[in-house]
Chain A
């Protein structure tokens, strides 16, 4: 009975997490996927393992590639949540005499906190992966004795700073032993010495709080420290053999409190504008233009990225000029964004400039998007875009390089192999419906571009090729918005 109760609760957690990511926030999964490029090469593995936490990072990137499909991402996240919770329970049992159902529910706290934390799309899956690995090591650590001398450095190398979790559990489980306290000091020494040895090109702070747990390297979110400490707390409390007088009632109450807390946490930590902006990008990536417009009718963030996305979807539905005034507008920058140094804003602009026949600016946008991924990772989506531009331009050397890299991935491989067949064969490229079209409509003259003259460039494209109605429509929309800017 007790066991069934636990299994049901765990499965409920998995189902809830799965449905949350699949139905409520698939755009975040897509964002994670497009900010990395997992390659099946030994060099890639070596590069990851050269840093502390490398194994967790490698495993995480392996998993995140499945975020290419929303259901794949949701499944991975659900499995991580379940495994984190279950490993916590096993760790608690190994630390001491595990309590009953009222204690079991406590092991859900880190998974739920993780759900709240991952509302921040810059949290990398490396963090829950590393935490999971480190908690899984708890049973080994608590009984390891002097073997901790090599287990701690090894664990630090493989999982990173969260190796402090099993160390803390061990120390606090055997808190009367001076030796165990010595291991705490030893862990600090390992962190410091290991940092000098393995990651001297990272700030010391990163050695203590983890490299590649969070995409933005200058930031340390509080939950990145809080969640591991909560894990330690939960393991110890559960392991202590907590007993209450009315376990059923206590379990029920705790469940309700956790559910309400998670709901409130998710509501407060998920920024709505980011949520919507990511959703537009996700939907545009899957060519669901009408869905973008439906969402925008209910709520549209008042920023350039959303305006650009909505305008693009209007165009794709043949409604740009007729309906653009029904939606939020913010001048010409909301039609085509200038080059912005982040890894999201310019994606739609890159796509529409490509379709219009400006492969060089598209190439710049895709390059800058990729280089704006703050942890230095490459992107399958952006690299594909760069390859496209190079193929259209006949710059086959760089194109081949990008395609060969993509060919080592799982979900971009087929596309890359197809495109590689065209390389260095101008006739084939020109016969390709996409590249051929771009070659037809692109600029015939070579001149220097400036963002402020983008409307003139659209005009040139249309005058060159009267079939380029996209350039004509965007030109007209640009003029209309420009007028509004002058006469607000």
Chain B
């Protein structure tokens, strides 16, 4: 009987509302826009808000394959267990949302909308990301976090409060596996932290033969090699009211680190003064290295001339040596710049950013996501997910059925994480923003952007005990250059 009480109460409320409810043929203005999105089974409840003038909301969700649940209150806040059951029951089906809102004592009912529940599972535990105030050169609070995608639980991996004065860089796992990851620490006691199977080591990746520390890194699927670009990054500012910041590299090279002895392979073809090389990534078979390459220009004066082509090089996983290099997408010739190529883990797709110029798409409103079919070489803009604002960093789920990406579409500045699924033909579904318990309150109040998000198959185990001592002890493993 107790189980039926909420449903009964909901029906009574619905009945009570009916008498004086105005029905309108338009869709409700819900925040976030979850209308028509595709979600995975057991995603955290897709709570949403009505516009602020509505003080009460009543929502009934009906599954096409059975089951229903209701939510009422200040916003649509679905009970977690019931939500999970409903999505499980409706995998491959749809959820129909009936929404009523109360404003000035008057109830309005909008046209129902649906949400699709994908059959493709999102089996990963969650995502990792850095949270950072979107701005300029200084950050008082910065941290790496992990978020359970099946609930609203967010936990810090490390926050800058633990390492005062040091900037925490982005979390880089090996193919979403938390057993092998790294992040950089910048500042007086800077180093790259590499954790493998629970063992931590702090590595200085700058050598006498390289121009700086490794920045954008990517693990070889075998775990032995680490490709990284070395970019002394600077930023300048625009004077107009369209753009804010321009981030550029003073120089940019690519090196490969052998994790066995922390030695760097410095290939002269990827360490030139004539070109900027950046964002190296390995394909899942470990035999190819994709990266971006641009002609070098004087910065910031010629920033608008910096355009990256998509390049490819064969890679020998036995020796770590680079073979032949070829241009895959000569984007610079067409007035575009390709950055952050990311192959799906099944080897089928390559997603990348395309902007008018620059190495840093996040500050480019025109930056979009593009997709290349690695079987045919065909490439196309992902119009299903792109927006008039910048789409930037992106990652694949471990089963390659889902991907996430950063976008500034909400307010033009603060970056949020969006999710979309992809079918075998390469069609993507309408993306949805990372669910929050009270989405408007969360996203409107936060002064932080989500930065370099990635999936994680399991929860990241990172014991902060000892980190403080290790950071300030300056005991470092010094990388060397492989002869």
Contact = CB atoms under 8 A, between A and B. Distances in A.
Given A218-B164, A368-B136, A446 B243 contact: yes
A449 B164 contact: no
Interface in B233-291: 236-244, 246
A457 B240 CA distance: 13
Contacts of B236: 448-450
A99 B383 CA distance: 82
Given A360-B237, A371-B138, A397 B303 contact: no
Contacts of A341: 137-138
Closest 4 CB pairs of A and B: A397-B411, A446-B240, A443-B239, A376-B141
Contact of B300 (A201, A377, A446, A450): A450
Given A360-B239, A371-B138, A201 B412 contact: no
Contact of A448 (B143, B238, B444, B447): B238
A371 B140 contact: yes
Given A361-B237, A448-B236, A371 B133 contact: yes
B317 interface: no
B136 to A, nearest CB: 5
A467 interface: no
A446 B238 contact: yes
Interface string B124-138: 000000000101111
A393 interface: yes
A217 to B, nearest CB: 4
Interface in A423-474: 442-443, 445-450, 457
A200 B465 CA distance: 8
Contacts of B143: 201
A367 interface: yes
A443 B137 contact: no
Interface in A351-404: 358-361, 363-364, 367-368, 370-378, 392-395, 397-398, 400-401, 404
Contacts of B464: 200-201
A204 interface: yes
B138 A372 contact: yes
30 contacts: A43-B441, A196-B465, A200-B464, A201-B159, A201-B162, A203-B162, A203-B468, A217-B164, A218-B165, A358-B239, A363-B244, A364-B137, A367-B133, A367-B135, A367-B136, A368-B136, A371-B133, A371-B136, A371-B139, A372-B138, A394-B241, A397-B410, A398-B412, A443-B239, A443-B240, A445-B240, A447-B239, A448-B239, A449-B237, A457-B239
A401 B444 contact: yes
Interface in B296-318: 300-301, 303
A112 B69 CA distance: 63
Contacts of A446: 238-240, 242-243
Contact of A364 (B136, B246, B412): B136
Contacts of B209: none
Given A371-B140, A448-B246, A448-B303, A376 B237 contact: no
Contacts of A364: 135-137, 237
B240 A368 contact: no
A339 interface: yes
A405 interface: yes
A405 B445 contact: yes
B413 A398 contact: yes
Interface string B452-477: 00000000000011001000000000
B158 interface: yes
Interface in B409-427: 410-414
A43 B162 CA distance: 23
A200 B413 CA distance: 31
A202 interface: yes
A363 B303 CA distance: 22
Given A202-B162, A368-B137, A449-B236, A397 B412 contact: yes
Contacts of B300: 448, 450
A202 B445 CA distance: 24
A217 B158 CA distance: 16
A446 B236 CA distance: 12
B238 to A, nearest CB: 5
B412 A445 contact: no
B156 interface: yes
B196 interface: no
Contacts of B22: none
Given A372-B138, A376-B140, A404-B445, 12 more contacts: A43-B441, A360-B237, A360-B244, A361-B237, A368-B136, A371-B138, A395-B413, A397-B410, A398-B412, A398-B414, A401-B444, A448-B300
B478 interface: no
